[in-house]
Structure 1
């Protein structure tokens, strides 16, 4: 019996060692992450830069939602649409997302717009497309236009653009931690790998 307990204890210690070793991976600047700012945010945050027109962003929608849930209560997860893709319609998509936040239907908008573009191949071409989309979500076009033209929406889009410029974002999707550290994805193979390096970056000064 004691021999069995001894073996069991040894296996337990060994498993803890391997788990700790995996968690204590030595991440390196330039290889696993880049520094994009001098100072970090006051509160812990994870910012996802994305475009509705980006197929990789569509593919990462569910994994990033999983990551947002993983860090709930530990860091604020912020979604930052960019106007890098789609020209004027790309900017329209930013404004649409800002309107959706105002109405607290951003999750519904993301699901519907991603599905239209990447599943149904129904790509937006103008402003009216988004007004119709919001009507399909139960928002009258008059209400959409009112919020669309508001100062709050314009300020929100300006904020998206400011963060995009400050973080030197030229491709999507990207994850930036604490407004300072950009995650490099070359060595990431799963969302768990993503969560691991983000956890590490949240501890850096």
Structure 2
């Protein structure tokens, strides 16, 4: 029992040290945006970004490490993807409304980075949706709808408010921008995000 207690104390001290070692302006930046009403993590990304594609397994592990009930939202940016960027944003929003975002994300990343066949037009997007079970009539009913328009506007507004200039970028509670270049492992990444989730809405600078 003594050994178990000592081990627990050691673990607690290590976890405390890990949290204390995260420093503002080194591991994260404090944004001038209002905090989100509820805990959340947002990944700003582009389907055309190879780093974002390679980050997918890391994001999957991060999701598992988040506190129960804490969502991780994916927000596609419009500054990558050329003339297809806006269409892909709209497609992502549509997939979310149809509750098939995960399937759509996997399919589009695969088509762009594995098959090397990025979509060139709306028809290609329609074919992609068909490959994951969405018929054209269902897609057309949502693609240009008001809810999708609103989501795309929210994407662009959020990117502008957080001054996102590179992807992938992760923002916690709409207040803390993670510096992923300062992270050296999955464990450290998970710990940093969870540390930021624990901070007050208006953190004091360190």
CA distance in 2, matches of 1:47, 1:88: 24
Between 43-52 and 75-84, the greater mean CA deviation after superposition: 75-84
CA distance in 1, matches of 2:14, 2:175: 28
1:1-205 matched pairs, under 5 angstroms = 8=3, 12=7, 15-16=10-11, 19-205=14-200
Structure 1 residue 136 displacement after superposition: 1.3
CA distance in 2, matches of 1:114, 1:136: 14
Question: TM-score, structure 1 length as denominator?
Answer: 0.89
Question: TM-score, structure 2 length as denominator?
Answer: 0.89
CA distance in 1, matches of 2:5, 2:197: 33
Structure 1 residue 186 displacement after superposition: 2.2
Tell me, which stretches of 5 or more residues in structure 1 are unaligned? none
Structure 1: which 4+ aligned runs deviate by more than 2 Å? Answer: 8-26
Q: 1:24 to 1:171 in 2, by over 3 A?
A: closer
Structure 1 residue 180 displacement after superposition: 0.9
Supply the RMSD in Å over aligned alpha carbons.
Answer: 1.9
Instruction: Tell me the secondary structure at the aligned position of residue 30 of structure 1.
Output: coil
Tell me, which stretches of 5 or more residues in structure 2 are unaligned? 201-206
**Contact 1:82–1:94 (Cα < 8 Å) also in 2:** yes
The aligned counterpart of 2:204 is none
Q: Which has the larger radius of gyration?
A: 1
